[in-house]
Structure 1
Amino acid sequence: MELSTDDARLGSGKMGYGCKHYRRRCMIRAPCCSQIFHCRHCHNESTKDSHAMCRFEVETVICAICGTEQRVAQACSNCGINMGEYFCEICKFYDDDIEKGQFHCNECGICRVGGRVNFFHCKKCGSCYSNSLLNKHSCVENSMRHHCSICYEYLFDSLKETTVLQCGHTMHSDCLNEMLKHEKYSCPICSKSIMDMSSIWKKLDEEIEATKMLENYRSRKVWILCNDCNDTTEVIYHFIGQKCSHCHSYNTRKTSAPVIPQ
């Protein structure tokens, strides 16, 4: 819905400006449909996926204090107010909540939050990660430039917190927590374990030790493929689970015996 300059003035005030996404003293005119919105997320939610707005193509903004429509800039050309204490000329991005620690990453090509000193850009993964993951994560090419495997929202510029799994794949932290609530401990993309499972494997060891198989099954063997180490081994079958002989993981599945070349 297009907003008038009167609507802009109603949104002004020390704590009553902007939208649920950002605090700012301006609105933007969408270059794709010429309608006025508080931010690109408001536009995309309003259009309901019929089309998305490109942040880089925004050319004009409307000051929320005086209602003046003007070229993109940090300060209003009419009343002089800063329309955003943080301003990025590249992303056409305004935000007054500078405690977020906004910064523009040239390699990502967009603005990030959390403070530049707290992040590094992984060129192979194609995204900024927390310094706590420096030399401690598995690189997956362009791992952030895909959709969350649970909710299917595009991760690269999502406003939600994202978690990097042990395997290097990524998903929303909320989606991961929901998955764990349902006792799902493997990556939906590659099936590798998403956390240290040693305590759970120990409990399975104890359960298998206490659960005897029927006589005619005790010597039965099966071939398994380990999802964690990708090794193929032949092991004693147990209905509770099959343990990888190489890495001792129970994150395995039955497979065919390997073909030996003649």
Structure 2
Amino acid sequence: MALANGGPGCEHYRRGCLLKAPCCGKFYVCRLCHDSKEDHQMNRFKVKQVQCANCKSIQQAQQHCEGCSSMFGEYYCNICHLFDKDKKQYHCETCGICRIGPKEDFFHCSKCNLCLALSLQGNHKCIENVSRQNCPICLEDIHTSRVGACVLPCGHLLHRTCYEAMSKAGYQCPLCKHSIFDMTRYWQQLDDEIVQTPMPTEYQNMMAEILCNDCSARSLVQYHIVAMKCKSCESYNTVQVGGCKMAVEQQ
């Protein structure tokens, strides 16, 4: 048993017992430790027995040791067989797993099929079963991950750590290319840059068709090498979808 945050457990959880893996019969501190060592995954819901880290007795999964009365975890869920220090956890019946709370700060969105902060209730774009998709950055599971999820304005999810890394290098959702920040100030800077960067004479009457990643509108706008603004929402998060043509056809 390694030390974790000053107590017994592993790098993932603080707990005073080991789980008997129902798949291979081996004892591990947690399913994550098991999965990193074995060529298969542990089903946490099928765990039946644990071994006390103090007196080594093997017994049915429960919060306290029946031999020495030591506590296996400040928090214990008899469905997920999750033992850990108290983080205001709660078991969400609809998610099917335990979440870090407190419970009163979250609600379960039935369409997205996951628990979200109350601040997002009626204030987010729903995507059906969005948490059942892997994170598009690291390609790891989001729904059961110990890493919190970040909900983008477009409704897609990223691991918070992936979001923080991505936001340092870009401003678009990796799935739909929608802007993930309020880009108003940056668009104003592009307005100024375009004014200060006139196109060569032969391109000044050139038009291009663009598609806006933010509002999905198509526009025919004056071609510019710096950026081209959507006529509908005035976003510069656009992509050229057609060839260039002269604004006025030559006679």
Aligned runs of 1:100-119 on 2, under 5 Å?
100-119=87-106
Give the TM-score, by structure 1 length: 0.89
- Inter-partner Cα distance in structure 2 for 1:114 and 1:135: 20
Aligned runs of 1:8-19 on 2, under 5 Å?
15-19=6-10
Match of 1:234 in 2: 220
Asked if 2 retains the 8 angstrom alpha-carbon contact of 1:75 and 1:81, the reply is yes
- Inter-partner Cα distance in structure 2 for 1:110 and 1:134: 20
Give the TM-score, by structure 2 length: 0.92
Q: Give the 3 Å change call, closer, same or farther, for CA 205–153 of structure 1 in structure 2.
A: same
Match of 2:80 in 1: 91
- Inter-partner Cα distance in structure 1 for 2:92 and 2:4: 31
**2:167 is paired with a residue of what secondary structure?**
helix
Aligned runs of 1:51-130 on 2, under 5 Å?
51-95=40-84, 97-98=85-86, 100-130=87-117
Match of 1:3 in 2: none
Q: Give the 3 Å change call, closer, same or farther, for CA 219–18 of structure 1 in structure 2.
A: same
**2:131 is paired with a residue of what secondary structure?**
coil
Asked if 1 retains the 8 angstrom alpha-carbon contact of 2:3 and 2:11, the reply is no
- Inter-partner Cα distance in structure 2 for 1:135 and 1:171: 20
Match of 2:119 in 1: 132
Root-mean-square deviation (CA), in Å?
1.7
Listed one character per residue, the Cα deviations across residues 82-130 of structure 1 (whole Å, up to 9, x for unaligned) are 21121111111111x21x1110001100000021011111111110011
Match of 1:188 in 2: 174
Partner letter of residue 72 of structure 2? M
Match of 1:28 in 2: 19
**1:73 is paired with a residue of what secondary structure?**
coil
- Inter-partner Cα distance in structure 1 for 2:4 and 2:101: 26
- Inter-partner Cα distance in structure 1 for 2:5 and 2:196: 66
Match of 1:211 among 191, 197, 209: 197
**2:195 is paired with a residue of what secondary structure?**
helix
Match of 2:165 in 1: 178
Listed one character per residue, the Cα deviations across residues 53-76 of structure 1 (whole Å, up to 9, x for unaligned) are 111011110011111101111222
Deviation at 1:12, TM superposition (A): 9.1
**2:7 is paired with a residue of what secondary structure?**
coil
Match of 2:209 in 1: 223
Instruction: Give the percent of matched residue pairs that are identical in Structure 1 and Structure 2.
Output: 44
**1:212 is paired with a residue of what secondary structure?**
coil
Aligned runs of 1:36-47 on 2, under 5 Å?
36-47=27-38
How many pairs align?
A: 243
